[in-house]
Amino acid sequence: MKTTITHHSKTFQIDLSQPLDISIPLRAEKDNVNAWYIGPPTIEPVKNEDWIGSVKSGADVNFNNIYFNPHAHGTHTECIGHITEEFHSINNNLKQFIFTAELISVAPENYFKDTVISKKQIESLLKGQTPEALVIRTLPNTKDKRSRQYSESNWTYLTEEAMVFLRELGVQHVLIDLPSVDREHDGGKLLAHKAFWDYDGERRMHCTITEFIYVKNKIKDGSYMLNLQIAPFENDATPSKPILYEVIG
């Protein structure tokens, strides 16, 4: 179903029947994607004396408890509250959900013993575009990203300079297929997070970082509209379901 939408006085045509889901589902399995040194999520029926919340076990309904960590167990969107002493909720700070977006694919650069995504790479791939949201697919892009166990893997991260560049460009939302935009072991510096949110300046309360996405290879680099769907958690982060729609006119 093709439809025309107006966003900030600009008109875009998209096909609502062709959503491109770039989230990773949360599964109660050991091979659920994972980071930050904790076990897998659990989904299990409530047990109350002789009653078990499972139709298979004789109940009228399925009634499950779910235990997970949004930062460790799948696609999630976080606000500046992730790194502040004072409480800030993603549900209160993210008020709009449709954004212009650019998808880029980046082969990380070697930096001493690390691999990084640099300002130079991003600037080159954006080719002058100034989207509200930037979706970053790292290369190589293999299906095991959906189940990889990232703890102690020293994953690729974004340089502080790259995040300053995105902030100054006006990018409000960064989405990436890694557990964090920062180095796994960085001594608590959180340089990329702090640079993007302007932690020591005029804090960008409405801006978000989404981690643990997965963009299939068949989705081409280019311009999209992003629907950033979140669960209304009063927390610094929430599980999320970012959806891309190709701009066709």
Query: How high is the pLDDT of residue 167?
Result: 98
Q: Does the residue 199 lie in any domain? A: yes
- The CATH number of the domain where 111 resides is what? 3.50.30.50
- The letter for the amino acid at 40 is P
Q: Does the residue 171 lie in any domain? A: yes
Query: How high is the pLDDT of residue 232?
Result: 97
Does residue 9 have a pLDDT over 90?
no
Q: Distance of CA 182 to CAs 113, 178, 195, 233, Å?
A: 15, 9, 11, 23
pLDDT, one tens digit per residue, over 212-233 is 999 999 999 999 999 999 999 9
Q: Does the residue 36 lie in any domain? A: no
pLDDT confidence bin for 173, thresholds 50/70/90: very high
Give the domain range for residue 232: 2-25+73-246
Does residue 204 have a pLDDT over 80?
yes
Query: How high is the pLDDT of residue 218?
Result: 98
pLDDT, one tens digit per residue, over 120-164 is 999 999 999 999 999 999 999 999 999 999 999 999 999 999 999
- Specify the number of domains making up the chain: 1
Q: Does the residue 112 lie in any domain? A: yes
The tokens describing 194, both together, are: 């702090």
Name the E strands within 139-236: 157-158, 173-176, 208-211, 222-230
